[in-house]
Each structure stands twice: as C-alpha cells, then as structure tokens.
Amino acid sequence: MIEDIAEKLKNDDYSVRRNAVHRLRSLHNEVALHFLLIAIHDADEFVRWEAIVALGDYPQSTDAVQAVIAALRDDEADNRVTAASTLGWMKNPLAIKPLIDVLLHGEEKIRDEAADSLGEIDGVESLEPLTISMKTDPSLEVRQSAAYALANISLGDATVNKAAYNILVDTAQNDPYPNTRLIAEQALRES
C-alpha cells in the first residue's frame, strides 16, 4: 500500500502528488515520514504545503522539525506562513530561534504567525523578541499577537511565567504609547 502511495509522488500531475501526501499523513509512521520529507521539496507549492502540514504530526522527529524550519524560506508566502504556524503546533524548542528570526525580520503575515507560535512554545528566549515586537512592530496585528503570545507563555512554563506576566503588566502600566498599553491590557484580561 505505501509503495503505491509513494509511487504517486512521482506522478506528473500535482493533484495526484498532493493527494498522495495527504494519504501519507493518515498513515503516521516512519515510512510515511520518510516520504513526507521528500515531498516537502516537491516542485509544486501545493504539494509542499500539504507536506508542511503533514510533518506537523511528527513533533518529536528532529528531521521533521528541521524540514518545517527550512520551509520558513519556501518560495511561496503561504507556505512560509504555514510553516511558522506548523512549528507552533509542533511545540518543539528547536523552532524557537528560527521563529524569532522570522518574527524580527520576516514579512507581516509570517511575523504574526511566528509570534503566535512562540506563544505555544514556552521558552525564555522568546520573551525579549516578543516584547520588542509587541512594542515596536509596525503592524498592529503583529503587536497584538506578540502580546497574546506573552500572555500564553505566562500561563505555561513556570520559569518564564513570572517574567512574561511582569512584561505585560509593566507595558500595560508604563508604555508611552496608548495603543501598546491597550494591547497589553487586553492580553492580560484574556489570559
């Protein structure tokens, strides 16, 4: 069965290859993972998108995490956004640094997803970049996502809990910009 699916990854029709990736996802085993790691390099953006999502089911696989991290540099913006989002689902600490890089230097949609994903992965390294984004990103949406990520982190790991909470409280009380204060207050209220 898996050989038949794998053979379809060689088909000229992208929709056949995409369907094969979708079927591989449902198998959720090491052999399927092997073929998903190949499919993420497909020439077609839709096949790669499907592979990125499918690899999200393998958060303990370093190879899968690294492949999704590499997809943060995909040619297609939608795939880069999906990769950032998928890394949040995976919650693997290997993704923290690449997500921080995207948060500070990526396009708006990807920065937004990177902030959300960093909120899913409890890591002290995320606090400063999320704070910077919450206070200085030109996009209101990214600033809000960074604030909510800080609130989410403050609900997670005890080592970052107090620091993230204190950043939000300090921002809500002392930031010179009313919009940033409001974002921090909303994040605190909704956490």
pTM of the predicted structure, to 2 decimals? 0.90
- State residue 157's pLDDT score: 57
Judge whether 137 lies within some domain: yes
The reply to whether 9 falls in a domain is no
Domain total in the chain: 1
Write the CATH number for 175.
1.25.10.10
Residue span of the structural domain in which 169 resides: 96-190
In a domain, 102, yes or no: yes
For residues 162-191, give the mean pLDDT.
Answer: 88
The answer to whether residue 87 sits within a structural domain is no
- Calpha distance 180→191 (Å, rounded): 17
Distance CA 170, CA 189 (A): 14
Q: What is the 3-state secondary structure (H, E, C) of 11-64?
A: CCCHHHHHHHHHHHHHHCCHHHHHHHHHHCCCCCHHHHHHHHHHHCCCCCCHHH
Between CA 127 and CA 55 the distance in angstroms is 27
Q: What pLDDT, on a 0 to 100 scale, did the predictor assign at position 158?
A: 62
- Residue 148, domain member (yes or no): yes
pLDDT of residue 147: 93
**Mean pLDDT value across residues 8-21:** 96
pLDDT digits (tens, 9 = 90+) for 15-69: 999 999 999 999 999 999 999 999 999 999 999 999 999 999 999 999 999 999 9
| Residue 76 located in a structural domain | no
Average pLDDT over residues 143-147: 94
Q: In this structure, is residue 159 part of a structural domain?
A: yes
Is position 89 within any domain? Answer: no
